[in-house]
Chains A and B, each alone.
Chain A
Amino acid sequence: METTYTIWQYLFTLPVHEIPWWAEVFRSILRVVIGLAFGLGLVPIYVWLERRMLGWVQGRLGPNRVGPEGLLQPIADVIKLFMKEDIIPTNVDRGLFLIAPIIALAPVIMSITVIPWNGSKSWGAVAPGLDIGILFLLGVASIEVYGVILAGWSSNNKYSLLGGLRASSQVISYELGMGLAIIAVLLMCGTLGLQDVVRGYDLRQPHEFVAGTVLNNGQGLINVLPLSGTGYTFYMLDWSSGFWDWNVFRMFPFGLIACVVYMISMIAETNRAPFDLPEAETELVAGFHTEYSGFRFGAFFMSEYANMAIVSTICVTLFFGGWLAPLGILNQVPISWIQALTQTPDSWVPWWANLINSLISALWIILKLFTLISMFILVRASYPRLRYDMLMRFGWKGLLPVALINLVLIAISLAVQHSFRDSLGTAGAWWVGQIIAWALMLAAMLVAFVSVRKSYASRQRDIASGEIPADSPIVRHPVALALPALTSTEK
């Protein structure tokens, strides 16, 4: 079967597995440009949004002079940074000092690669065919911490060193909770590909599912509808689906717990308030980038904000349905409508129909992203900074066990569902599995509360007997912090 294709078809319309490598390079460059435009182009807007919102929360104006509503302020700041002197202090470890900002920024940009912005198999992400999405993200994202610690070490500055150490140990501490929360999603979806995670396979029939096949209508979320002859294979979405199918509401409340763990970890991972100890101005000047100026400082600044956006997008993708709309009907304009409207034959679709639908998907993910960013900003505006021991204790003693137990409970529930599916049917098995997991969860919570109460009582005794001073800096256990009423020892 020898078919000749036009250049246009190679570059734009053919499915990805039918084109030669040079056409894919061209497409990649195009997608990379789109990805960078969205990934980095939005950074100034976050900065503006943050400053305005903080101003609003604190009862002041924020930047409002440069451009309409101060929108051009971040652009002006960037231009200013370009015009500043790039100072390399004496006695720095020159090589590492120069390369650290690049090591901090490049992995963040790299993370954009696998994030899907719509359902297309050829155009839906920078690397839509990559089915190891989550592994790639974790691998790339963990490089970033090298930039931070190298900057701290090479600067020959005490603040930088301490800031770098703090930042790196904080990041690695919270990476564990984050990793375990992600594993919970993997467990529920059974796939590493982010596109598949977004589409969210129906857990109740995992054994019947084969990735990428045409799912039967009404059961799964999505129909795979390859439009013959075009590379723009995308997914016709089921109107009956909606936000209740997102991973965050899966296997309630375990998906939610994983989501909360992930969101707390992501705030800590990006060194944002209330976990912004590495840059605590009152203690460490500016932390690991104290000695940096000009755009080397700008690179750290940009990597922080871009990283914030990236982890939020990952959160949206993993837990909040990615590019899916909250209601199935809002997902896209059905092709058949467009065909009816333009009176085109069934076998042909106007090129702009796909474009419109992909823009709708991209719009949803950006909307969700800004919601999360706003949450970031409001958290920063509302909570005081943690002390370092509290931070560490919360990560290791709070998030880690919660995420681990959550994982185990999901696995138990799934196994029970699997064993009862034949006798009780899908829905019945779901309830049996969930009830067993809920019972185990309550038992675990009971154990935690009892142990916290016990350690609390012994602490009160120690205070009463004068063994430790009443104002000693040991604070409450994280569980107790969340639910003070349950652990209060006052009579």
Chain B
Amino acid sequence: MPNFRDPSLSVMEPNVLSNSLLNSYIPVLVMGVAAIALAAALIGLNGILGPSRPNPQKLSPYECGVTPIGSARERFPIKFYLIAMLFIVFDIETVFMYPWAVTYIHSGGMMIFNLIEMLLFVGILFVGYYYVWKRGAFEWE
């Protein structure tokens, strides 16, 4: 099996290795804090600099200048739910392919076996895809 880590690390003591692993995630943490702080700070700055003179007209929902009719939170087409469900199904199928794809060219003698397994998987996926297509789930009308 190929070693995906820096080979210079593998000869070091375990604590150095864990140190390196930890160190590689520190920037993610810093960036996460920075991203949220930046987004919040910019919006907060607006709150400080901007005026605040609300009146009922200003605060009413925008409906092209007309007084709003009814609630905005109404039922919406079931098509959106369908798309969401199909997305979940296909996205999870896609997620299953990630580990397979990464290890595929490193699999050596098991490559053909891996190929057949994935062809079976994709085949089942295609049966579902064909079914959904023929049933008209992709038609928006």
Asked whether any CB of A lies within 8 Å of a CB of B in the complex, the reply is yes
**Residues A129 and B20 in contact, CB atoms below 8 Å apart:** yes
Task: Scan residues 78-118 of chain A and give those whose CB is less than 8 A from a CB of chain B.
Answer: 81-91, 101-102, 105-107, 109-110, 112-113
Determine whether the beta carbon of B80 is less than 8 Å from that of A165: yes
A158 at the interface (CB under 8 A from B): yes
- Chain A 408-442, CB-CB to B under 8 Å as 1, else 0, gives 10011011001100000000000000000000000
* Interface residue? A172 (CB, 8 A): yes
Task: Known A89-B59, A158-B63; judge A110-B72 contact (CB<8 A).
Answer: no
B2 touches A209 (CB 8 A): yes
Which residues A116-175 have CB closer than 8 A to chain B?
121, 126-131, 135-136, 153, 155-162, 165, 169, 172-173, 175
A260 at the interface (CB under 8 A from B): no
A340: chain B residues within 8 A (beta carbon): none
CB pair A183–B38 under 8 Å, yes or no, is: no
**A486, chain B: closest CB distance, angstroms:** 21
Structural contact, A206 and B54, CB atoms closer than 8 A: no
A446 within 8 A of B: no
Are the C-beta atoms of B54 and A87 separated by less than 8 Å? yes
Q: How far is the CA of A183 from the CA of B101 in the complex (A)?
A: 6
| CB within 8 Å for A191 and B72 given contacts A82-B50, A176-B87, A474-B141 | no
Number of A positions contacting B (CB below 8 A): 106
In contact, B94 and A180 (Cβ under 8 angstroms): yes
**Partner of A176 from B26, B27, B90 at Cβ < 8 Å:** B90
Name the one of A109, A157, A169, A210 contacting B39, with C-beta atoms under 8 angstroms.
A109
Q: How far is the CB of A318 from chain B (nearest CB, A)?
A: 13
Measured CB to CB, the nearest residue on chain A to B88 is A172
| Residue interface bits A383-409, CB-to-B below 8 A is 1, else 0 | 000001100110011001100100110
Does the CB pair B111–A415 fall under 8 Å?
A: yes
Query: Is the beta-carbon distance between B25 and A17 smaller than 8 angstroms?
Result: no
What residues on B are CB-neighbors of A213 within 8 Å? 7
Residues of A within 8 A of B36 (CB): 102, 106
**Please, how many angstroms separate the alpha-carbon atoms of A397 and B122 in the complex?**
16
Which of A46-54, A69-77, A287-295 is the contact stretch?
A287-295
The answer to whether B26 and A24 have CB atoms under 8 Å apart is yes
Known A-B contacts A296-B46, A411-B118; A17 and B12 likewise in contact (beta carbons under 8 Å) = yes
**A28 on the interface (CB 8 Å rule)?**
yes
Q: Does B124 contact A (CB under 8 A)?
A: no
At the interface, yes or no: B45 with Cβ under 8 Å from chain A?
A: yes
CB within 8 A of A129: which of B24, B31, B40, B118?
Answer: B24
Verify if A362 is at the interface (C-beta below 8 Å from B): no
Instruction: List residues of chain B with CB within 8 A of the CB of A183.
Output: 94, 97-98, 101
Point out the residues of chain B lying under 8 angstroms from A128, CB to CB. 24, 27
A190 and B103 in contact (CB under 8 A), knowing A113-B27, A295-B43, A415-B111? yes
Instruction: Check A127–B52 contact: CB distance below 8 A.
Output: no
Decide if B67 is an interface residue (CB 8 Å cutoff). Answer: no
Given that A17-B12, A28-B27, A474-B141 are contacting pairs, would A408 and B39 also be in contact in the complex, using a CB cutoff of 8 Å?
A: no
Instruction: Give CA–CA (A146, B77) in the complex, Å.
Output: 19
A485 at the interface (CB under 8 A from B): no
Known contacts: A106-B35, A389-B141. The answer to whether A127 contacts B58 by CB under 8 A is no
Name the residue of chain A whose CB is nearest to the CB of B29.
A28
Q: Is A464 an interface residue (CB 8 A)?
A: no
Contact in complex: A126, B31 (CB < 8 Å): yes
* A261 touches B (CB below 8 Å): no
B83 touches A130 (CB 8 A): no
Q: Point out the residue from A211, A298, A401 that lies within 8 Å of B42, measured CB to CB.
A: A298
Contacts of A27 in B (CB 8 A): 27
> In the assembly, what is the distance between CA of A388 and CA of B98, in Å?
30
A130 to B84, CA, bound (A): 31
Instruction: Tell whether A280 is near chain B: CB-to-CB under 8 Å.
Output: no
- Take A212-B6, A290-B62 as given contacts and tell me if A415 and B115 are in contact as well, using a CB distance cutoff of 8 Å: yes
User: Are B31 and A112 within 8 A (Cβ)?
Assistant: yes
Contact residues in B for A207 (Cβ distance below 8 Å): 105-106, 108
- CB neighbours (8 Å) of B61 from chain A are 89-91, 155-157, 291
A190 close to B106 (CB less than 8 A):
yes
Task: Tell whether, in the assembled complex, residue A90 and residue B102 are in contact, meaning their CB atoms are under 8 Å apart.
Answer: no
A192→B102 contact, CB < 8 A: yes
Name the one of B40, B51, B62, B103 contacting A159, with C-beta atoms under 8 angstroms.
Answer: B62
Q: Which of A84, A127, A159, A161 counts the most chain B CB atoms within 10 A? A: A127
Asked if A83 contacts B39 (CB within 8 A), the reply is no
Q: Is the CB of B139 within 8 A of A31?
A: no
Is there a chain B Cβ closer than 8 Å to A16's Cβ?
yes
State in angstroms the CA–CA spacing of A100 and B91 once bound together.
Answer: 24
Task: Please tell me if the beta carbons of A127 and B24 are within 8 angstroms of each other in the complex.
Answer: yes
In the assembled complex, A203 has its CB within 8 A of some CB on chain B: yes
Cα(A213)–Cα(B10), bound, Å: 12
Confirm or deny: A45 has a beta carbon within 8 angstroms of a beta carbon on chain B.
no
Per the 8 Å Cβ criterion, residues 92-133 of B in contact with A are 94, 97-98, 101-106, 108, 111-112, 115, 118-119, 122, 125-126, 129, 133
- Complex: how many Å from CA A333 to CA B2? 32
Q: Which residue of B lies closest to A25 (CB)?
A: B26
Query: Are the CB atoms of A212 and B105 closer together than 8 Å?
Result: no
Within 8 A of B (CB), among A277-311: 285, 290-291, 294-296, 298-299
Mind listing 13 A-B residue pairs with CB under 8 Å?
A16-B20, A17-B20, A86-B43, A90-B56, A102-B39, A105-B38, A109-B31, A109-B35, A113-B27, A128-B27, A158-B74, A161-B74, A295-B43
4 A-B pairs with the lowest CB-CB distances in the bound complex, closest first: A129-B24, A389-B140, A295-B46, A17-B20
Interface residues of B (CB under 8 A from A): 2-9, 12, 16-17, 19-20, 22-32, 34-36, 38-40, 42-43, 45-47, 49-54, 56, 58-64, 71-74, 76, 80, 83-84, 86-87, 90-91, 94, 97-98, 101-106, 108, 111-112, 115, 118-119, 122, 125-126, 129, 133, 138-141
